[in-house]
Amino acid sequence: MSDLLARHRAVIPNWVALYYNEPIEIVSGKGNRVVDASGKSYLDFFAGILTNMIGYDVPEVREAVERQLATGVVHTSTVYLLRGQVELAEKIARLSGIPDAKVFFTNSGTEANETALLLATYARKSDQVLAMRQSYHGRSFGAIGVTSNRAWKNNSYSPVNATFLHGADRHLPQFAGLSDADYIKVCVEDLRHVLATSVSNDVAALIAEPIQGVGGFTMAPDGLFAAYKEVLDEEGILFISDEVQTGWGRTGSAFFGIQNHGVTPDMMTFAKGLGNGFAVGGIVARGDLLDNLHAVGLATFGGNPISMAAANATLDYVLDHDLQANAQRTGTLIINGLREAAERLPIVTGVRGKGLMFAVELADGALAARFMEESKKAGLLAGKGGLHGNVIRMAPPLTLTMDEAAEGLGIIVNALETINDEAR
């Protein structure tokens, strides 16, 4: 492993971060568990950054991909009809709830968000975009422009003119103690003030994650985006929901994260879990917005036959097995258990989440780093994030069983207890 790590460091950019003091190579997986090169098994509570949505070695997905491979057609491009692409687009358009929806497929969430920004700025003839503080929308030029987390921004240059809103920052002193209703009211008043002071006419869009991924699973209280949309609609400002991490039933309480707010956006972007590890992203939007661009466009690999086979099989599996309901059941067990444990663990400063998307906020980044090592040792993979790198964020596959949920909860709590004792 030390040889592979040395080779990695020699040819991979040093900003491509690796987890753990001794990084691992995952060589096999089955169900919701993976095995590293040393033979150690782990219960996976991060799912390749929320991407292995229904676990590993799923027969339905594997067989769908193998059937496509057997045809000999791995790629044709979008200049030809792609049956799998049409079939998947039909499903997503129906599930989105967006009137007269159309779908455009990309390779990633970053590319999907770039497409959404293009559509919005073109439609509104404006480079002005609203986004949320602590947000993350991708690593590309435009996506960085609407990202509000200094650790993930390489420069201040941007093709968009972004202004950032409150809504997922209730930890700030000025909002401490406010009820959901009062916090929403303050945020809406701030939005109106921003529109009166910080922008000119014709703002293109608001882009927002229903639950902020890199931000450490911080989230606006349910209903805030509905209140925001009332203000946006007064001025014709479009609303883009970034569902790259929150889509496909992960929150348990809704199939798309924005539906927890009772909102139908103008556009939704998606990626990650839809392909269960195969590269697929895209945007579902009002047909008039997607049809509006005047220049010819395509995505060479977007909607390719292999990814479409995997994505169709994955989405069908999610729906046929009602994994949204499973996310609600298993997530409730874990989140309630974490909240109960947090009451006796001073190092824990917060627990939050919905369904199988939950986080533990610790007092500082060093404690989070220590947790990563302790949970790895105990056989559980987790993720890290938050504005200050002090949040453990976890999102197991939606196929997690109740027994696995209880097992994972036990490992997390034991690791937190160990670290808490060390910190005394």
Pair type for strands 101-106 and 281-286: antiparallel
Mark whether 126 and 260 lie in a shared domain: yes
The answer on pLDDT for 253 being more than 70 is yes
Residue 220 lies in a domain: yes
Query: Euclidean distance between the first and final Cα of the chain, in Å?
Result: 35
What confidence tens digit (pLDDT) does each residue in 100-131 have?
999 999 999 999 999 999 999 999 999 999 99
Residue 212 near residue 136 (C-beta atoms within 8 A): yes
Q: How far apart are CA 26 and CA 39, in angstroms?
A: 9
CB 54 within 8 A of CB 61: yes
Average pLDDT, the chain: 97
Domain boundary among 298, 320, 342: 320
Q: Are residues 200 and 334 in the same domain?
A: no
Crossing angle of helices 180-197 and 224-235, in 10° steps, is: 20
The answer on 316 and 282 residing in a single domain is yes
Are the C-beta atoms of 303 and 275 separated by less than 8 Å?
A: no
Query: Residues 72-94: what's their mean pLDDT?
Result: 96
Please indicate, yes or no, whether residues 54 and 147 belong to a single structural domain of this protein: no
Domain enclosing residue 371, as ranges: 29-58+322-422
Measured between alpha carbons, how far is 382 from 395 in angstroms, rounded to an integer? 8
pLDDT in tens, 266-307: 999 999 999 999 999 999 999 999 999 999 999 999 999 999
> What average pLDDT does range 223-242 have in this prediction?
98
* CATH number of the structural domain spanning residue 187: 3.40.640.10
Please state, in angstroms and as integers, the Cα–Cα distance from residue 206 to each residue in 62, 191, 241, following that order: 38, 11, 8
- In terms of DSSP H, where are the helices of 214-345? 224-235, 287-291, 305-320, 323-342
Position 245 in a domain: yes
Alpha helices in 131-179 (DSSP H): 141-145
Q: How far apart are CA 358 and CA 341, in angstroms?
A: 14
346 pLDDT higher than 80: yes
Locate all alpha helices (DSSP H) within 199-286, ordered by sequence: 224-235
Confidence of residue 323 (pLDDT cuts 50, 70, 90): very high
Q: Judge if 47 and 89 occupy the same domain.
A: no
Answer whether residue 3 is part of any domain: no
Say if CB 280 and CB 310 are below 8 A apart: yes
| Tokens encoding 115 | 């497409």
Say what the pLDDT of residue 2 is.
80
Stretch 358-373: mean pLDDT = 98
Q: In this structure, are 330 and 296 located in the same domain?
A: no
Q: Residue 392 falls within a domain, yes or no?
A: yes
As a whole number of angstroms, the distance between CA 188 and CA 185 comes to 5
Mean pLDDT of 190-211: 96
Residue 335 in any domain: the answer is yes
Return the biggest CA–CA distance within the chain: 65
In CATH, what number is assigned to the domain containing residue 337? 3.90.1150.10
Identify which of 240, 306, 242, 304 has the alpha carbon closest to the alpha carbon of residue 272. Answer: 242
Q: What does the pLDDT average to over 48-76? A: 98
Is residue 7 domain-resident? no
Q: How confident is the model at residue 330 (pLDDT cuts 50, 70, 90)?
A: very high
As to burial, measured by CB atoms within 10 angstroms (0-12 exposed, 13-18 middle, 19+ buried), residue 21 is exposed
Average pLDDT over residues 58-67: 98
As a whole number, mean pLDDT of residues 41-54 equals: 98
Among 320, 336, 370, the domain-final residue is: 320
Run of H or E residues at 394: strand 391-394
Q: Are 186 and 131 part of one and the same domain?
A: yes
The percent of residues in the chain predicted with pLDDT above 70, rounded, is 100
* CA dihedral for 196, 198, 203, 209, sign (positive or negative): negative
Indicate whether 313 and 386 sit together in one domain. no
pLDDT for residue 1 is more than 80:
no
What is the domain count for the chain? Answer: 2
Helix (H) or strand (E) holding 228: helix 224-235
Per DSSP, 292 falls in state: -
For 131-189, the pLDDT digits (tens) are 999 999 999 999 999 999 999 998 888 999 999 999 999 989 999 889 999 999 999 99
Q: Which amino acid is at 279?
A: A
DSSP annotation of 203 = -
Domain boundary among the residues 300, 320, 340 is at: 320
In a domain, 375, yes or no: yes
Same domain, 406 and 418: yes
Predicted pLDDT at 325: 98
Q: Is residue 63 part of a domain?
A: no
Cα 52–56–62 angle (5° rounding)? 100
Q: Are residues 168 and 251 in the same domain?
A: yes
Q: Are residues 300 and 364 in the same domain?
A: no
Residues 105 and 171 in one domain: yes
